[in-house]
Amino acid sequence: MTSQSQPTLHLRIMAPTSVIFEGEVESVSASNHVGPFDILSGHTNFFTLLSNGTIIASKDGKQTSFEVQKGILKVQNDTVTVYANVGTIG
């Protein structure tokens, strides 16, 4: 029996002075002025200003949350890059 893994995204979250997180995830959830949104593998190219709130990165049923005070999120070729003032909350 072979196990199939979920397609992944490469996520990089950068604060002004350091890289907060970098790795492979299955999904990313965040919010902009329109409301909450999710990003999965194969997402179209996308660029948005983030609202204050939480970014949630999920992999293998586990979630890691990052508190965001405004920022920019870019999706291109299954790579999600976030530039923001960020803190890990769990």
The CATH number assigned to the domain holding 40 equals 2.60.15.10
pLDDT by residue (tens digit) across 18-42? 999 999 999 999 999 999 999 999 9
**pLDDT attached to residue 2:** 44
Q: What percent of the chain lies above the pLDDT cut of 90?
A: 81
Beta 79-88 vs 62-76: how paired, if at all? Answer: antiparallel
How many structural domains does the chain have?
1
**Domain residue limits at 72:** 9-88
Q: Is the pLDDT of residue 90 over 70?
A: no
Q: Among 77, 73, 85, which Cα is nearest to 43's?
A: 77
Q: Among 7, 6, 12, which Cα is nearest to 76's?
A: 12
Please state the pTM of the whole predicted model.
0.87
Residue 3 domain-assigned (yes or no): no
**pLDDT attached to residue 32:** 95
Q: Is the pLDDT of residue 88 over 80?
A: no
